[in-house]
Amino acid sequence: GLNGAFARFKGSIRIDNSDVGRSQVNFTIFPESVGTGQGRIDAFLRSDAVFDAANNPEIQFRSTSVTRTSDTTALVSGRLTARGKTFPEKFTAELGGLKAGTIKFHVTGKVLRSRYGMDVGTPIYSNIVDFDMTLTGKRG
């Protein structure tokens, strides 16, 4: 597999304590910030073969529902938009800890890049992109 990380992303989580289902999880990833430690692969990933970062500078996720699955985890359903294509995706959010009114969430999920027109390089590189982010939220 290919290990890489997005150095730049931003996200917000709004927890609705009275109705968890109305909580919101949104995040934006900046694909030009991808880093694998290998410049040639980074350039390939940024190119129009994969992320096309020049024309599609953001990958966006907007939640449509949040379902509690345990005391510390939730299933987040929503819509991921990349390269002008939008599909429903699911992510897991795990509560990482509370500190001074700030909540940390660990958000993970798997996305098939082929449906977003980013399947160049398969099967050499996996079609599955593993998302793994730590988002910080405020209690509202």
- Dump pLDDT digits (tens) for 104-120: 888 888 888 888 888 77
The correct answer on CATH 2.40.128.110 for the domain covering 5-139 is: yes
Burial of 89: CB neighbours in 10 Å, binned 0-12, 13-18, 19+ = buried
CA distance 56 to 28: 12
| Residue corresponding to tokens 């390269």 | 83
Q: Residue 80 is inside which H or E element, if any?
A: strand 73-82
pTM, two decimal places: 0.83
* Closest-CA residue to 71 (of 93, 51, 53): 93
Q: Which sequence spans correspond to the domains of the chain? A: 5-139
Contacts of 12 (CB under 8 A, 6+ apart): 24, 25, 26, 27, 135, 137
- Dump pLDDT digits (tens) for 15-33: 777 777 788 889 999 999 9
